[in-house]
Structure 1
Amino acid sequence: MPNWKPWYLVKDPRKAGVFADRLGFDEAGMSAALRNHLTANFGNASSTVPMLNGVGVQIGTKFTVRGPMTGPSGRTFDITASWGVDYDGTVRFITAFPTN
């Protein structure tokens, strides 16, 4: 199971306007939508780049996935989501934002 923090997409005022207000997600729905977005659009993933910790030490790799996400409201946005993979194989959700 990936290690992530999808709750902030529906709680943070800088993100909630899209994910909660326009797309209609709650915390539980956001988790499922991010998993689906990752698997449905994995073929469009960017190349991996180093993922660094706060002091510049590489702790894994990261990549982005871009594709459509339809929310409970019925609206669809193109979303770019960033993901990281630690050296131990832990998958991390980093952030997501609309690209349209």
Structure 2
Amino acid sequence: MILIQKSAIIDFPACSFTLLRLTKVLTAEIGILSTKFVECLNKQEGDDELKVNQLVTNIYLEASNSSSYIQDGFQLLLPVLQQAAIERNQAPQD
């Protein structure tokens, strides 16, 4: 949405800072959700402890993978924002 805005005034440093905060919020939310899910699993009485431990390990592993994918995605967006800022600055002003 940042890249297709028609407004001539876009504060790219502010946009990049917003994306950084969004990345932090998303990764924190993944951590919170995985912890809540693990807490629910740990409350289950009578389940095989080994099975629960394997599930807990898998949940945290996948949460970590998800956080890495989100961080990588936003890192890959950085050159796109830089190019958009360069093109916006080089465009003739009306």
Q: Same fold (TM over 0.5)?
A: no
Higher relative contact order (CA 8 A, sep 6+): 2
Report which of the two has the higher share of helix: 2
Q: Which of 1 and 2 has greater Rg?
A: 2
Report which of the two has the higher share of strand: 1
